[in-house]
Structure 1
């Protein structure tokens, strides 16, 4: 199976057409009817033409979860026909490949996820990675609980992809910069430029590139030296690390400065007023979030802060200074009652 993701269904169509040959069946799930009717529509076709179509009902809880549950019987039916050797699953625009791949690996051993392909728009890529617009504001949320933003979805789709198809490359003023940006976000990926008609210039399916363990490790929450790529053409990735904890109030006050110029950052941080907790740090565009990962005592690591940040036109020294200013000072380390510090993140952690 090839999983196909990407925000633009228009740009995905020529890529999808290039994937379908005599041995391939395609399942395309769309979400145009989701806001109005609460359904995801699907169609099945192969090289000979349309085969079937229908829809999945989606409730008010988790559209992504219901999509996965509804897809499994359809996929089982196609497999039982024993007519094709390859399935292309084109996910809805707001769907990430990771939950789909994880479910398929866990529940359908008869399907081998072969390649995860993501189509990105060269004209809009930096804008999509840099803003704070919610999917819901664009009518793309997969249900009311979906509070992701466009930047978060775009980054996650890229980070899990074995192949990134750079559509509209001929309309971009700096295609090499975009190629470089994609590799900074995911060094595992192969970047393939599409021609003016949207057709990829190299194979993008049946490549045998998907490695579940590697994909999961890269999409995880940890930050490390292996995430660093050589800076070039205005794209920079920075590793920031400290063995001192962050002052929660100063971190909260500095959030806008931290994400300024950063399209994506991930890592693990240590808040002074939560000395035993490992906290996940993540930002995409102008949005940043913290989440709990467990206790430091449950790992082999001493408590520390480690963040990897990627940006276009990013000033590493400025970012380092902003983050350093959020740390407890030497005198605070010695004199402060850490537990008594105000907790601006109490409502989210």
Structure 2
């Protein structure tokens, strides 16, 4: 007879952040729990698995270490992860499964593996396991270096494949914005005031997660085992920029270490050329920005905008509802009461709404300079399709245009 669902904790975090050190520490202080460990490494020789063996946290007779090498469990090796977790759960030998994801893995696809049936393999991990906690480890000493590097994983020789063009900073943000526990590791290597500032920024980026400071990976195992913290919907909507979007307008807040956030919201379109000029002179004090933009020259399409450090992503996010055929528009307005409440009689759902998170930001100056990018009354009378539009349509072109590094 099957025991109750086996709990699972997943450790994510960029290369060198200290995941393996934390894993070893937990294994050596797990108070009798029988733990199966799955370690994912991109190299053909699984170095992290060797470190865990050498750390002495696993007893050879009672526990098992699974190595998944030469790929990433969030993509190419997802099937391997499914099969291994299923096998371990069905063996009924373990109290817990600990997974150390590769340093270049994104946490959301790994979490999704535990939440739905894989039709191809006929595996439903949600029947066997309970995803207990998603943990992200941040290297407090190297964070700002990696954040501002402007490098891609390809540049660093850390890409999953030749088509993996992700920026290092975007990976860092993905890992931080989706987690239940955020561990700041190597805190002894950072000055106290710098550590306070970094913690403030991380709390802005991820306000929901339990934040823990660690030195040499030493944490309480109870902080990441049997926490019952994971909730997919809550984790998916826990990013700081999302929470900022939900706040009532003009909510005052206390700023610590100059760390603040605000929402820029205007029911008017941007002039594409002026907005591009503004972005090319990006204010360095803005750490993170995310939202929707309305470009006059692309009046039918909402533009998704995302910035983290020197990385900017910009591109079509689909039609504005106001641009849809009348019957379809009426149906959507009938179904979505929130949309109908926010509907503008002239612009419909078209809007500029962007969250800014930063350190020592000059909010008034940023708002005024962005307002200067909006169409003037005279321009509103002109043919918007004739405005020069320097914005590219692909990510690679965008990187060349901004070159923020």
Correspondence list, 1:137-148, <5 A: 137-148=155-166
Distance 1:203 1:18, change over 3 A: farther
User: Which residue is 1:252 aligned to?
Assistant: 276
User: Which residue is 2:211 aligned to?
Assistant: 191
Q: Which deviates the most, 174-183 or 197-206? A: 197-206
Q: Could you tell me how far apart the structure 2 residues matched to 1:207 and 1:175 are?
A: 26
Q: Which deviates the most, 22-31 or 336-345? A: 336-345
Q: Could you tell me how far apart the structure 2 residues matched to 1:322 and 1:204 are?
A: 44
Deviation sequence 1:147-179 (CA, Å, 0-9, x none): 111111111111111111111112212222121
Other structure's SS at 1:143 match: coil
Deviation sequence 1:126-162 (CA, Å, 0-9, x none): 2322331111111221212221111111111111111
Q: Could you tell me how far apart the structure 1 residues matched to 2:47 and 2:83 are?
A: 15
Q: Could you tell me how far apart the structure 2 residues matched to 1:206 and 1:291 are?
A: 41
User: Which residue is 2:172 aligned to?
Assistant: 154
Distance 1:182 1:258, change over 3 A: same
Q: Could you tell me how far apart the structure 2 residues matched to 1:102 and 1:314 are?
A: 36
The question of whether the paired residues in 1 share the 8 Å contact of 2:12 and 2:102 is answered with: yes
User: Which residue is 2:3 aligned to?
Assistant: none
User: Which residue is 1:212 aligned to?
Assistant: 232
State yes or no: 1:279 paired with 2:289: no
State yes or no: 1:99 paired with 2:145: no
Deviation at 1:54, TM superposition (A): 4.7
How many residues get paired?
A: 340
Distance 1:40 1:267, change over 3 A: farther
Q: Could you tell me how far apart the structure 2 residues matched to 1:42 and 1:123 are?
A: 24
The question of whether the paired residues in 2 share the 8 Å contact of 1:8 and 1:93 is answered with: yes
Q: Could you tell me how far apart the structure 2 residues matched to 1:245 and 1:17 are?
A: 53
Q: Which deviates the most, 106-115 or 155-164? A: 106-115
User: Which residue is 1:344 aligned to?
Assistant: 390
Deviation sequence 1:61-112 (CA, Å, 0-9, x none): x984212233111111111211113211111001111111123212321222
User: Which residue is 1:109 aligned to?
Assistant: 126
User: Which residue is 1:296 aligned to?
Assistant: 320
Structure 2 unmatched ranges of 5 or more: 1-7, 118-124, 322-331, 343-348, 396-405
User: Which residue is 1:331 aligned to?
Assistant: 378
Q: Could you tell me how far apart the structure 1 residues matched to 2:312 and 2:100 are?
A: 29
Deviation sequence 1:10-33 (CA, Å, 0-9, x none): 611221124333232111101234
Distance 1:220 1:261, change over 3 A: closer
Deviation sequence 1:319-346 (CA, Å, 0-9, x none): 223322222122212x221122233234
Q: Could you tell me how far apart the structure 1 residues matched to 2:290 and 2:312 are?
A: 10
State yes or no: 1:89 paired with 2:96: no
User: Which residue is 1:224 aligned to?
Assistant: 245
Question: Which one has a bigger Cα radius of gyration?
Answer: 2
Of the candidates 253, 258, 264, which is equivalent to residue 288 of structure 2? 264
Other structure's SS at 1:47 match: coil
Deviation at 1:182, TM superposition (A): 0.9
User: Which residue is 1:71 aligned to?
Assistant: 81
Deviation at 1:310, TM superposition (A): 1.4
User: Which residue is 2:21 aligned to?
Assistant: 14
Of the candidates 367, 371, 380, which is equivalent to residue 320 of structure 1? 367
Normalised TM-score (structure 2): 0.76
Normalised TM-score (structure 1): 0.87
Q: Could you tell me how far apart the structure 2 residues matched to 1:133 and 1:233 are?
A: 27
Structure 1 unmatched ranges of 5 or more: none
Distance 1:47 1:40, change over 3 A: closer
Deviation at 1:221, TM superposition (A): 8.3
Deviation at 1:219, TM superposition (A): 5.0
Other structure's SS at 2:99 match: strand
Other structure's SS at 1:147 match: coil
User: Which residue is 2:185 aligned to?
Assistant: 167
